[in-house]
Every structure is written in structure tokens, then in C-alpha cells.
């Protein structure tokens, strides 16, 4: 459980940065070399490398060699873990909104019936 919590902390912390979110969006579409990723940003290669390091530490991306290039791809299982975590909260909030809606409808019905008297 603690390991799962640490992974989620790492995932959401790494997603807090807009550049890292954009990198993930790009590699979700297709594998990209580190050079291809770096070309898309007005940042140094070292800065991009640091962003990729954060994403890799959070297990959001995987790196492998293709010839002389380092290639980056999305790690879908980690994205799924984050999605499952967020779906738990979605269920909680949907239940709360459903109860609120039922309460408001009941109050509205009571208000209409008391005005008719």
C-alpha cells in the first residue's frame, strides 16, 4: 500500500508540470527519440533530459535503444493505475452529486406543495 501511494505521489507530481504533460501527450501518439522530443521545445537538451528523467522515475515512460537513438514511449500500465485511482474519486463525487440532486428535487417538490396550500 505504501509503495502504491509513493508511486501515485510520483505520478501526480510529475504531471504537475505542463512540459512533462505535453511530452506525455506527444509520446502517447507515437514513440519519439529524445532528439525529436527536444526539437519541440525551446529548452536545452539537458532540461529535456531532466524532464524525461522525472517521467521515467514516475514510470510514466519507457526508454529503449533503436540503433544509436534513445527512444521514448508511453508506459500505459502506469497511466492505468493513475486512472483507477481517479475513478475511485469520480465514483465518490458522482454519488454525492446524485444524493444532492435527490435532496434538491425533494425540497423543490416540498416547496411547490407548500405554496399550493
> Which domains, and CATH codes, for the chain?
2-76 (1.10.10.10)
Write b or e for each residue in 2-21: b if 16 or more Cβ atoms lie within 10 A of its Cβ, otherwise e. eeeeebbebbeebbeeeebe
| CA proximity to 38, closest of 54, 49, 24, 27 | 49
pLDDT tens digits, one per residue of 34-78? 999 999 999 999 999 999 999 999 999 999 998 889 999 999 888
pLDDT confidence of residue 75:
92
According to DSSP, the residues that pair with 72 across neighbouring strands are: 32, 63
Provide mean pLDDT across the span 92-112. 89
Per-residue confidence (pLDDT) for residue 88, from 0 to 100: 85
Residue 2 has pLDDT above 70, yes or no: no
Amino acid at each position: 500500500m505504501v509503495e502504491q501511494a509513493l508511486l501515485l505521489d510520483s505520478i501526480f507530481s510529475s504531471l504537475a508540470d505542463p512540459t512533462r504533460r505535453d511530452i506525455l501527450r506527444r509520446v502517447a501518439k507515437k514513440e519519439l527519440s529524445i532528439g525529436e522530443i527536444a526539437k519541440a521545445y525551446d529548452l536545452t537538451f539537458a532540461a529535456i533530459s531532466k524532464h524525461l528523467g522525472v517521467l521515467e522515475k514516475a514510470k510514466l515512460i519507457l526508454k529503449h535503444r533503436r540503433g544509436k537513438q534513445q527512444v521514448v514511449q508511453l508506459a500505459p500500465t502506469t497511466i492505468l493505475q493513475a486512472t483507477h485511482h481517479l475513478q475511485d474519486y469520480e465514483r465518490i463525487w458522482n454519488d454525492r452529486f446524485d444524493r444532492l440532486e435527490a435532496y434538491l428535487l425533494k425540497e423543490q417538490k416540498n416547496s411547490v406543495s407548500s405554496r399550493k396550500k
